[in-house]
Amino acid sequence: MEKASEAIGIFVIALVTAVILSLIFGWFVMLLWNWLMPLIFGLTTLTYWQSVGLSLLCSFLFKSSSTSTSKK
């Protein structure tokens, strides 16, 4: 019973940490986008939640989900 509650605690801490890091990362995406893209390409600025969505979309599109290993 103690191991189960310890595992749940670790899961909750990991989940909270992941959410906090993704929100901080979204803030950095917003800062970089609003600093570079309007000046270079004439694009509009992003709100905070748009930048969080953009970073989430990019992680879905460009992260490799392949777990194959090469054997020699």
Q: Is the pLDDT of residue 72 over 60?
A: no
Q: Is the pLDDT of residue 68 over 90?
A: no
**Whole-number Å distance between alpha carbons of 34 and 52:** 13
**Whole-number Å distance between alpha carbons of 65 and 42:** 34
Report which secondary-structure segment, H or E, holds 15: helix 2-41
Please report the pLDDT score of residue 70 as a whole number: 62
Contact call for residues 56 and 63 (beta carbons, < 8 A) = no
**Whole-number Å distance between alpha carbons of 18 and 62:** 19
Domain ranges across the chain: 24-53
